[in-house]
Chain A
Amino acid sequence: MTQALLALEDGRYWWGRAVGALGERAGEVVFNTSMTGYGEILTDPSYRGQLVTLTAAHIGNYGVDLADLEDAQPWAEALIVRAFSAQPSNWRAAESLSQLLQRRNVMAVADLDTRALTRHIRAAGAMRAVLSTEDLNPESLSAKARAIPTMEGRDLASTVGTREIYTWTEGTPADWTLLQLAPEPNQALGAGAHVLVYDFGVKRNTLRRLVDLGCQVTVVPNATSAADALALNPDGVLISNGPGDPATLGYAVETLRGLFGKVPVFGICLGHQLIGQALGGTTFKLPFGHHAGNHPVCDVKTGKVRITAQNHGFALDTTSLPREVEVTEISGNDRTCEGLRHTTLPIASVQYHPEAGPGPHDGDEHFRTFVHSLRVQTARGSV
C-alpha cells in the first residue's frame, strides 16, 4: 500500500491510499456529487487543472467502457475517492478504472474522508491543493499548493480544445440511443444540417447527440474567427463547455459578436457564459458552485423542472443582461441563471449540461430545439 497525502492551500490535509499513478499533482480541488459516471467525469475537459473529489461512496465498481468516455484522454489531474474498487463488475467493462488510471498516468487517492473534504470546500470554496505520494509532509505540501497559480485568470480552454478542424461522425452507440423514448424520428430532424462546434473542451456526448439528430458536425479550434467560421458555411454554431475562468476568453466574446445574427448559436456551460458576456452581461463567482448530477432547473415559461448535471463555479448576473435577452431557465436551488434566449435573434444557451454524460437526460430537448431551429433557418434561406 502506498500512502498518499492531499494538502490544501489553507493547511488542511487528509491521508489516503494511492490507487492510481504515483507522483505529485497540483490543481484546484473540487467535488462532484454524481452517483454514477466517474469515467465521464475523469475525461471531461472541463476538469482540466482540477483534482476531482467524487462524493459517491464507491468508485470503480463497474469499470470503464471506452464508449462512455467524454474525450480520448483523462483531463482531471487526479481523483479523490472514499472506497475504490480495483476490480470491476459489469458486462460492458473493457478495463478497470485502475487500469485506465495507470495507463494514462492519472493519480487517484482512496480511503480518504471525502465527506469532510467536501464539507470543507463547500464552506471555504474551491481551493488549490497538491496530492502526492512523494512528499508526505503536510506543511511542505500545503506550501506547494499555495505556490501554484489560482484558477482565476487561467485560460485553460485553449489547452484542452482542438487545434485542428475535424469532422465528427460518431453517434451514440446503437444500443444506447434514446430513440425508443423519442417522439419523432431523430435523424430526420437535422437532415444534414452543418453544425460548427467551437471546442473549448467539448464533451463527446454533445457531438454524439448532434450526430444522432442527423447533423454534420465540424469541430473547430476555439480561436477560429467569426469570418473563418462563416466561411465554412455552417447552419448553426455550438459553443462548448470548457475549463477555466471565462473572463480570460475575451477573444471568444469578440468571435461570438461576429456570429450573432448570422447563424443560430447555442451554448453550453462555459459557452453559455461566453454568450452572456457577448450579449453584454457579466459573470460572478458562486459561493459554492454547482457540482452535481441532481440539480433542478425551472423553465421560466412552463414552470417545468429538469433534473440536470451541472459543473460550474461562475454564473451570469441576470441583472446585467440587456432587455432583448430573456432568462429561460433558473436554478431551483439558488435561482441563478441556467438558460437564456435572445428575443429576436436565434441565440440560446444553457448553463447546465443537456448532453448529460454523466447525468439525467432531461435537458436533451435543447439539442432538438437547436437542431430544429437550424432547419427553420435553412428553410428561410438565411437569418
Chain B
Amino acid sequence: MPKRTDIHTILVLGAGPIVIGQACEFDYSGTQAIKALREEGYRVILVNSNPATIMTDPALAERTYIEPLDVPTLAEIIARERPDALLPTVGGQTALNLAMDLDKAGVLEKYQVELIGASTKAIATAEDRELFKEAMNQIGLRSAHSGIARSLSEAETLVQATGYPSIIRPSYTLGGSGGGIAYNAEDFRRIVEEGLALSPIGEVLIEESLLGWKEYELELMRDHAGNGVVVCSIENFDPMGVHTGDSITVAPAMTLSDREYQRLRDMGLAIMDAVGVATGGSNVQFAVNPANGDVVVIEMNPRVSRSSALASKATGFPIAKIAAKLAVGYTLPELPNDITRSTPASFEPALDYVVVKIPRWNFEKFPGSQPILGTAMKSVGEAMALGRTFPEALQKALRSLENGHMGWGADGVAGPPLERLRELLITPTPQRIFVIRTALELGWSVDDVHALTKIDPWFLRQLADLLKLEQRIQAESLDSLTADLLREAKRAGYSDVQLTHLLADSPSQRAVRQRRITLGVLPTYHHVDTCAAEFPAQTPYLYSSYETESEAAPTSRRKAMILGGGPNRIGQGLEFDYCCCHAVFALRELGFETIMVNCNPETVSTDYDTADRLYFEPLTLEDVLNIVDVEQPEGVVLQFGGQTPLKLAKGLEAAGVPLWGTSPEAIDRAEDRGQFGAVLAECGLRATDYGSATSWDEARSIAQRIGYPIMVRPSYVLGGQGMAIIHNEEALDAYLHAVTSTSPEHPVLLDRFLDDATELDVDAVSDGERVVIAGVMEQIERAGIHSGDSACVMPTVGISPAVEQQLHAATVKLAQALNVVGLMNVQYAVKDNTVYVLEVNPRASRSVPYVAKATGVAWAAVAAKVMAGQSLREQDISAAPDLVGYHVKEVVLPWRRFPGAKIALGPEMRSTGEAMGSGDTFGAAFAKAQIGCGRVLPTAGAAFLSVNDNDKQALLPIAQGLNELGFKLIATSGTADFLKQHGLNVETIYKVNEGRPNAADYIINGAVTLVVNTPLGQTSIFDEQAIRQTALRQNVVAITSIASAQAAVDAIRALCAGGLGVRALQDA
C-alpha cells in the first residue's frame, strides 16, 4: 500500500536533553524520521527542547519548536499547527510518555490528532509490566516471576515468593534508574524505598533473579500488512545482571544454534503482534538459561531505542527512517534497501563481520559513587567497532573508547590490583574485561573465569586465544617479525601501539608502522553491505580489517575528511557531533567529497547518508593515518570533534597530513599557559594570576604567591576533569595527593580564583583576517562553576554595554594573535568591571549549537567553509544578527544515577545534556529552560532558604520577591535572623544536625516546594548534602547558587503571569 494521503502535517517529538539512558541516538533517529517524512512531502512539525541536536536545525523540519516537552506546551503548539498525526516512536521514552500524557489529557482527541507508529494500547501493553506479562502468558511465553509493589510491605511479601537475589525495577523510569539487585533483606529494603520514591507512579517491580543467564536482544520491524523482519540479533558479552546499556554487546548473536535463534525470532515477531505494534521498530530482550535453553522474555520497547540505533549502524539497515515510512502507510516490500539499491527493505541483514559495542563510563566524575554495574544504567556513551572477527572488533572497540587503552591490554595501562581479582570478576565494573585478562595471564582457566563471571566460555576462549598469540609476538623483535605473524596480529585487532609493547625490543609506534608498510601488511576496507557480499553495495559505508583485498575504491574527487568526536562522555557529547555534521554539509555544498571518520554509533555523523563516505573506525593516529593513506584528502578537519581529534593534531601534522583551520601550533599556544601568557601580554589583556607546577613544592610556592582561593587542574583536560577550587594549603596537599601523576609531562595548573565574578563565554569565527562574534553568553552561575554546568543566557543581562564592547574587542585581538581559522571560544570573568581572560579554545565549543539556534546562523558551517578557504567576506558574514528575545540554556545533571556522589556544582563538569528556553523576557526564557530540563518551578508554597554569610545580602531581594509572589519563607537560624532583621516574616527551622523536625523532614513532608541552599563551607557539607539528596528524591527544585535563585524568581514571576508562549525557529 502506498503512503497515506489523508494526513498532511505530522508532529514529531524529540527526546529532550541528553540524560543517561537516553542520549544522542534519538537525535539520529529523529533526524532520520524527519528527513524520511519530508521526502514523502509531509509537513513536519518538530518539538524538542534540546538545542544541540541536528534535528532542531531550522532547515530540517518545516516548523521547529525548541520548547519544553510537556503537555501545556504541546497543547499550545498543537492548537497552533493543527497536525493530523503525531509520531511518538523516535524520541525515546520521553516522547512515548508525553504522547500518552497528551492522550490522557484529551489533547489528541480535542484536536483530532492521530497517533501513528504506535497506539496507546500498544504502548500501555509494552510499558505496563502487568499488562505485558499477561500478554506474554497469552502467547505461551514466560516472563520473569514478579509482582508489583506499591509499598515496602507489599514488596517484602512478594520477595518471599520470588526469592533472593531479587531484582527491583521502578516503573516508568529511564534506563532502569533507581533499580538494583538485592542479595539480602537489608539491601532489599533500601533499594525498594529508593525505587518507590523514583518511580513517578510510586511503584516497583519485584522480580526473580536471572543472574548469569545469557542476554539477547532482537531488533524487529513490522509494517501494517503484518510483514515482520528481524534486523539484527545482539548477544550481550555480560550476562544478565548488567543493564544492557552497560553491557558489552556483540552482533550478530554468537552462541545460538539455528534452532535457538529461529525460536527467538518466532517469539520476537509474536511478541510484536501480541503487544499490538502495528508498524515500526521494536526491541525485545530475552534471557536464555545457558544450562537448558529456557527462554524468559525480559521486556520490549515498542519504539526506536538505543539498541535500534546500534542495530542500524551495525547492519546498515536504517531502522528509524524505515519506521517513519511504515508509519505513514508504506509496507516493507515497497521500500528500497539504500545500501544495495537493488533489493527491498523487507529482508534481514546478513553480516559477515562482527560488531562490538562497549559503553563509556564517567564514574571518576562522581566521587563517592561506586563504579559497579547493575540493573541501572550508568554509562554516558559508547563506542562501536566492526571487524571480521570478534577479537578484531573487540580490540578496535576498546581502542575507540579513548580511555587510555589501545586494545585489550598490552598497551602499558596497569592491570587491576591482584588481591581484588576474584571480587572484580564476580562484581561487574567498567574494568571487568581487563580483569579477565589479568586472570587469564595469571593462568586461571577459562572455566575458572566463567564460574565467577558467567560470561559465555566462547567469548572467554576467544580472549584466551589472544594471549597465546601475544606469546608468539613477544618472542619476536621488530626485525624478526614476519609478515605472516604481523598480519595474524593485525587480523586479531592489535594496534601498532600494542605491538610496541609486545615486541621484545619495544620499538616506537612510528617504527612499527614503517615496518608494517614495508612488509605490505596494510588494512583493507570493507562495505557494510547488509548482505554478506551476496549483492554489490552502492553506499560507501566502510570498516577496516586485514584481508586480501580492499573495497575502498577511493574516487579522484576533491575531498575533505572530517574527524568525529568518538564516544560521548561528560564534556564531549552531542554538541560536537552537531558541529561535525554541519562541517560535512557545508563542505559538500562547496563541492567536496566529504569523508567522515567516527566510532560513535549514536550519532547523526555516522549515518551512512550524512557524509559521502563513512569510515566507521577508531579515532586513533594509526587508524586515521591508514584512511588518509587510502583517501588522500585535500584537507583534514579536526576542530569540530572536540578534544578527540585535536589530540591527534601533532601526530597527523608530523606525518604530513594536510590539516585545515587553526594550526596545531596555535592550539598549543592557547593551551600552554606560558605561551598563552605571552599572547595575552601581546594583546594587552589580563588574566588571573597563575602558575604551572611540575612538583608539589612548586605548587605550594605558586599558591603562596598568587594567594588563595585558587583553582587547580591538570593541563590538557576537557570538561574540567580533575579541577578544584582550593581555599588553603591543607586542601592543596590533599588535591595533589589525589592527582598522583604530577610531573614535568603532566603539570598542574594553578589560577587565582575570582570569587563572585560573572563568567562569560564568547564564540567567534575567524578567517584569519575578519573576526565575527557569533554570540556572547552570560553564565548564570558565578565563575568557579564549570561553564558546561551553568545555565547561561543570550543576550547578556548583567554586564554593561561598555564591558560587552571590551569582550568583543578582546576576542578579535585573541583570534588575530592566535591566527585562528575557524571557530574559537573564549571564557572571560568580569569582576568590578574588569575583564579577565580565563581560557581560549581555538576550536568548536560545546556552545556552538546553542548559539546557532539563538542567532539563526549555522556557525559550524560558516567555520567549515572558512577552513576550506572561503573567507567570511565571500560568505557575506560580517556580524551575528540581532537576537530576538532571550535564550536560556539550562543543563541536566545525573545525580540520581550516582547515589552517594556529592551533589554540588564545581569546576568539574558533570552535566549530561541541556535544554533551551526562549522567551520575550529573561524570566520566561529561564522558566522554559527549567521545564525543558524537567525542573518544574513551583508557583506557590513554601521556600526554604539557607545561605552563607557572603550571600545574605544578595538573598534579600530574592526573599522579598518570593514573598511578593506569595511564598511562605522558611529558613535556618542564621538566614532567618538576617531576613527578619529586614522585615520579612520567616519561620525558623532546624538544620539537619540540630534536631527534629529539621529541614529534610520538612522537604519529605511536602512542606517545602523550593530550596535555595548555597554552600556554607566544609563544616556544613553534611547538612547540605542531606538537604539536596532529600530534595532530589522528593522532586523538589533545589537551587545552589544565588545567581540561579535570582533567575528562578524571575522565572516564577513569568510562570505566575502565565502564557509563556511558543515560537518556532522559522517564525523569526
**CB contact between A14 and one of B254, B346, B548 (< 8 Å): that residue:** B548
**CB contact between B352 and one of A33, A88, A92, A304 (< 8 Å): that residue:** A33
- With both beta carbons as reference points, the residue of chain B lying nearest to A56 in the complex is identified as B352
**CB contact between A57 and one of B265, B390, B535 (< 8 Å): that residue:** B390
Chain B interface, DSSP helix/strand/loop, else mixed? loop
Contact A58 to B344, CB < 8 A, known contacts A36-B261, A87-B461, A298-B333: no
Total A-B residue contacts, Cβ distance less than 8 Å: 190
Q: Is the CB of A361 within 8 A of B257?
A: no
Contact A176 to B346, CB < 8 A, known contacts A55-B533, A57-B351, A91-B290: no
Q: Which B residues are in CB contact (< 8 Å) with A91?
A: 290-293
Q: Which B residues are in CB contact (< 8 Å) with A87?
A: 457, 461
Q: Which A residues are in CB contact (< 8 Å) with B349?
A: 294
Q: Is the CB of B333 within 8 A of A62?
A: no
A83 within 8 A of B: yes
Q: Which B residues are in CB contact (< 8 Å) with A292?
A: 350, 531-532, 534
Contact string against A for B residues 785-827, beta-carbon threshold 8 Å, 1 for contact and 0 otherwise:
0000000000000000000000000000000000000000000
Contact string against B for A residues 107-148, beta-carbon threshold 8 Å, 1 for contact and 0 otherwise:
000010111101100100000000000000000000000000
Q: Which B residues are in CB contact (< 8 Å) with A356?
A: 258, 262
Restricting to B225-280, which residues have a CB under 8 Å from any CB of A? 225-227, 229, 233, 252-263, 265-267, 270
**CB contact between A357 and one of B258, B351, B535 (< 8 Å): that residue:** B258
Q: Is the CB of B533 within 8 A of A122?
A: yes
Q: Is the CB of A116 within 8 A of B351?
A: no
A288 within 8 A of B: yes
Q: Is the CB of B347 within 8 A of A295?
A: yes
Q: Give bound CA distance, A39 to B292, whole Å.
A: 20
Contact string against B for A residues 42-61, beta-carbon threshold 8 Å, 1 for contact and 0 otherwise:
00000000000001111001
Q: Which A residues are in CB contact (< 8 Å) with B491?
A: 111
A151 within 8 A of B: no
B389 within 8 A of A: yes
Q: Give the shortest distance, in Å, between B234 (CB) and chain A (any CB).
A: 12
Q: Is the CB of B347 within 8 A of A360?
A: no
Q: Is the CB of B262 within 8 A of A294?
A: no
The size class of the interface chain B forms with chain A is 35 or more
**CB contact between B257 and one of A33, A65, A296, A307 (< 8 Å): that residue:** A65
Q: Is the CB of A305 within 8 A of B535?
A: no
Counting chain B CB atoms within 10 Å of each CB, which of A33, A68, A178, A298 scores highest? A33
Q: Which A residues are in CB contact (< 8 Å) with B443?
A: none
Q: Is the CB of B270 within 8 A of A359?
A: no
Contact string against B for A residues 176-193, beta-carbon threshold 8 Å, 1 for contact and 0 otherwise:
101011000000000000
Q: Is the CB of B346 within 8 A of A296?
A: yes
Q: Is the CB of A35 within 8 A of B225?
A: no
Q: Which A residues are in CB contact (< 8 Å) with B257?
A: 36-37, 39, 62, 65, 68, 90, 92
Q: Is the CB of A61 within 8 A of B255?
A: yes
Q: Is the CB of A33 within 8 A of B549?
A: no
A152 within 8 A of B: no
Q: Give bound CA distance, A58 to B388, whole Å.
A: 9
B456 within 8 A of A: yes
Q: Is the CB of B265 within 8 A of A296?
A: no
Q: Which A residues are in CB contact (< 8 Å) with B259?
A: 65, 68, 92, 176
Contact A85 to B346, CB < 8 A, known contacts A55-B533, A90-B257, A115-B352: no
**CB contact between B332 and one of A14, A88, A305 (< 8 Å): that residue:** A305
Q: Is the CB of A85 within 8 A of B458?
A: yes
Contact string against B for A residues 148-180, beta-carbon threshold 8 Å, 1 for contact and 0 otherwise:
000000000000000000000000000110101
A258 within 8 A of B: no
**CB contact between A58 and one of B233, B291, B390 (< 8 Å): that residue:** B390
The size class of the interface chain A forms with chain B is 35 or more
Q: Is the CB of A83 within 8 A of B347?
A: no
- With both beta carbons as reference points, the residue of chain A lying nearest to B533 in the complex is identified as A118
Q: Give bound CA distance, A184 to B573, whole Å.
A: 53
Q: Is the CB of B534 within 8 A of A118?
A: yes
Q: Is the CB of A57 within 8 A of B388?
A: yes
B1001 within 8 A of A: no
A82 within 8 A of B: yes
Contact string against B for A residues 351-362, beta-carbon threshold 8 Å, 1 for contact and 0 otherwise:
000001111110
Q: Give bound CA distance, A55 to B533, whole Å.
A: 8
**CB contact between B549 and one of A36, A56, A116, A361 (< 8 Å): that residue:** A116
Q: Is the CB of A304 within 8 A of B533?
A: no
Q: Which A residues are in CB contact (< 8 Å) with B531?
A: 33, 292, 294
B354 within 8 A of A: yes
Q: Is the CB of B140 within 8 A of A180?
A: yes
Q: Give bound CA distance, A82 to B393, whole Å.
A: 14
Q: Give bound CA distance, A90 to B291, whole Å.
A: 8
Q: Is the CB of B548 within 8 A of A55?
A: no
Q: Which B residues are in CB contact (< 8 Å) with A288?
A: 534-535
B139 within 8 A of A: yes
Q: Give bound CA distance, A332 to B229, whole Å.
A: 13
**CB contact between A303 and one of B141, B225, B292, B548 (< 8 Å): that residue:** B225
B526 within 8 A of A: yes
Q: Give bound CA distance, A68 to B457, whole Å.
A: 22
Q: Give the shortest distance, in Å, between A366 (CB) and chain B (any CB).
A: 16
Q: Give the shortest distance, in Å, between A295 (CB) and chain B (any CB).
A: 7
**CB contact between A119 and one of B1, B252, B533 (< 8 Å): that residue:** B533
Q: Which B residues are in CB contact (< 8 Å) with A375?
A: none
Q: Is the CB of A57 within 8 A of B534?
A: no
Q: Give bound CA distance, A34 to B350, whole Å.
A: 7
Restricting to B500-534, which residues have a CB under 8 Å from any CB of A? 526, 531-534
Q: Is the CB of B457 within 8 A of A89?
A: yes
Q: Give the shortest distance, in Å, between B448 (CB) and chain A (any CB).
A: 15
B704 within 8 A of A: no
Counting chain A CB atoms within 10 Å of each CB, which of B139, B290, B548 scores highest? B548
Q: Give bound CA distance, A111 to B487, whole Å.
A: 11
Q: Which A residues are in CB contact (< 8 Å) with B458?
A: 61-62, 85, 88-89
Q: Is the CB of A58 within 8 A of B526?
A: no
Q: Is the CB of B461 within 8 A of A82?
A: no
Q: Is the CB of B350 within 8 A of A55?
A: yes
Q: Which A residues are in CB contact (< 8 Å) with B344?
A: 296, 332-333
Q: Which B residues are in CB contact (< 8 Å) with A92?
A: 257, 259-260, 293
A221 within 8 A of B: no
Q: Give the shortest distance, in Å, between A98 (CB) and chain B (any CB).
A: 13
A40 within 8 A of B: yes
Q: Give bound CA distance, A291 to B535, whole Å.
A: 11
Q: Is the CB of A58 within 8 A of B254?
A: yes
Q: Give bound CA distance, A55 to B388, whole Å.
A: 10
Q: Which A residues are in CB contact (< 8 Å) with B253?
A: 36
Q: Is the CB of B347 within 8 A of A33?
A: no
Q: Give bound CA distance, A61 to B342, whole Å.
A: 33
B348 within 8 A of A: yes
Q: Give bound CA distance, A34 to B331, whole Å.
A: 24
Q: Give bound CA distance, A31 to B533, whole Å.
A: 10
Q: Give bound CA distance, A361 to B254, whole Å.
A: 20
Q: Which B residues are in CB contact (< 8 Å) with A178?
A: 266
Q: Give bound CA distance, A88 to B255, whole Å.
A: 9
Contact A181 to B350, CB < 8 A, known contacts A36-B261, A91-B291: no
Q: Is the CB of A116 within 8 A of B547?
A: yes
Q: Is the CB of B333 within 8 A of A296?
A: yes
Q: Is the CB of A89 within 8 A of B456?
A: yes
Q: Which A residues are in CB contact (< 8 Å) with B526?
A: 115
A214 within 8 A of B: no
Q: Give bound CA distance, A92 to B292, whole Å.
A: 8
User: Assuming A61-B458, A83-B390, what are 5 further A-B pairs, CB within 8 angstroms?
Assistant: A55-B350, A92-B260, A118-B533, A292-B534, A302-B225
Q: List 28 A-B residue pairs with CB atoms under 8 Å apart, sorted by A's residue number.
A: A31-B533, A33-B532, A55-B533, A56-B352, A57-B354, A68-B258, A68-B259, A87-B461, A89-B458, A90-B256, A92-B259, A111-B491, A113-B548, A115-B388, A118-B533, A118-B534, A175-B293, A181-B139, A294-B531, A296-B344, A304-B226, A307-B348, A332-B344, A332-B346, A333-B535, A356-B262, A360-B262, A360-B265
Residue positions of B touching A, CB distance < 8 A: 1, 139-141, 225-227, 229, 233, 252-263, 265-267, 270, 290-293, 331-333, 342-344, 346-354, 388-390, 456-458, 461, 491, 526, 531-536, 547-549, 551
